[in-house]
Structure 1
């Protein structure tokens, strides 16, 4: 089975590719920076294709190796969630590119969305809930999901939308919470500045997230929107303290140093009922 992966050299892609290879898939990986692509430990095990989503080839399905399935991770402009770039540039480019792939013959598409599609709703967030994004990023992702859903129905393409919650692990954005915490631990700092820590979030290690994406893409029974999350409702303070314990580290938390973000609900986590079906639970 040939699986095309965009965003292969990114944080999630770098963990996903080895899992797909281990499960017997023939992987076609895209890149924009050739040097960054060839620097990956699994670089020689995949087929590489250069791709600029903002200027795709005329016949992308054939040009990208006529894949049996596709996992679309690529998305530009993060972690700026409020920039109009998401609606003005990413949305039309992704819509055109992915629709052309389906028109060319792609029969199975897994694309990644975001918990930001739920907006400011609190509590356990389920795929059956009405999405109500309050950020430009969330709005762009939701519109893309809707457009791809309709296009897939018209072309007879299996469509899966992995709605990602928070993740952490090796290779993450250095400005993310756990990356900054790990840097502080590595530097032997005595205190770590953070928010009040009472907000509830849903974090999943990137290895488990990558495994979930591979498992979703390699089956066809569970389709549509699928939350990819832990289902755990823990405060950020609890998550940080848990991380510190696992690192066998000692560092004091300077709670309340940063204000709470104004674009997220205070308490939310994801329902894992559909993801559990993917795993047969």
Structure 2
């Protein structure tokens, strides 16, 4: 719900069956009459504002929506978008059964929403699937996102400057994330909390260099992404994929080099666009 989708793009007009509204608004009567059974909830406003005021406002809107959704009476499954930030300031592989201690307001708000959903649906027939998404990227990502900004800067003939070249992230392509959500909406599939990532770290420097090669039309392959140092691996978080692979049979299929190329191709096709709201980048 909302005038923009979770990647910050305006929704096209005239789509049959689409109702556009803000998350905290009353659910329209025609939606109640329709009696939905599955809710895929991706909305989050104000990104990249991860501060207290924006996070609290989001949480309040989300709770109003959740209470209305439960009140419809027909919903049996909720699939929600969390964030790897829920794990806080830690490094190494993150597993879903560990204590997640958020260290930012947006992570606290996401974690609070998840816990509220668990409590609110505990005595109901509603199953909850919660995906902790790592650093999703791809077509439709907001202009201010890491990879789009690198690609645009490189395309202007300037080498992107890096604040933390030795940093590293667990990047996961948007189509792979979408595939996981498709698995989760199956009413016969298990519920629970699951990581969505690649399970590997890629250095910011290597991603920048791959973006430059892509702009120049030179080949990029997985060999261009070197293993990060032991120190970096201990400092930066990545996703353990054991649970999501076992339960849903899901693993990412789009390699980072291919994902960067697809992102650039989509940016060229779309032309200039403005920044917007979207999912937390992680």
TM-score range, shorter-chain basis?
0.7 to 0.9
Q: Which residue of 2 aligns with 1:10?
A: 5
Partner Cα distance (1:117, 1:149) in 2: 16
Secondary structure of 1:196's counterpart equals: coil
Q: Which residue of 2 aligns with 1:136?
A: 105
Cα shift at 1:76: 0.9
Q: 1:112 aligns with which of 72, 78, 81?
A: 81
Q: Would you say 1:51 and 2:21 are equivalent positions?
A: yes
Q: Which residue of 1 aligns with 2:71?
A: 103
Gaps of 5+ in 2: 219-233, 251-282
Secondary structure of 1:50's counterpart equals: coil
Q: How does 1:19-58 map to 2 (within 5 A)?
A: 36-38=10-12, 44=15, 46-57=16-27
Gaps of 5+ in 1: 1-5, 15-35, 251-264
Cα shift at 1:249: 4.5
Q: Which residue of 2 aligns with 1:228?
A: 196
The structure with the greater share of residues assigned to strand is 1
Q: 1:218 aligns with which of 186, 202, 211?
A: 186
The TM-score, its normalising length taken from structure 2, stands at 0.74
Change (3 A) 1:277 1:60: farther
Q: 2:134 aligns with which of 165, 179, 182?
A: 165
Question: What CA RMSD, in Å, does the superposition of the two structures yield over aligned residues?
Answer: 2.5
Q: How does 1:140-219 map to 2 (within 5 A)?
A: 140-187=109-156, 189-218=157-186
Cα shift at 1:207: 1.7
Q: Is contact 1:120-1:133 (8 Å) kept?
A: yes
Change (3 A) 1:212 1:116: same
Secondary structure of 1:84's counterpart equals: helix
Q: Which residue of 2 aligns with 1:71?
A: 40
Secondary structure of 2:35's counterpart equals: coil
The TM-score, its normalising length taken from structure 1, stands at 0.74
Q: Is contact 2:24-2:64 (8 Å) kept?
A: no
Change (3 A) 1:191 1:120: same
Partner Cα distance (1:126, 1:110) in 2: 19
Partner Cα distance (1:129, 1:166) in 2: 20
Change (3 A) 1:204 1:174: same
Q: Is contact 1:160-1:223 (8 Å) kept?
A: yes
Change (3 A) 1:249 1:197: farther
Partner Cα distance (1:206, 1:98) in 2: 25
- Number of paired residues? 234
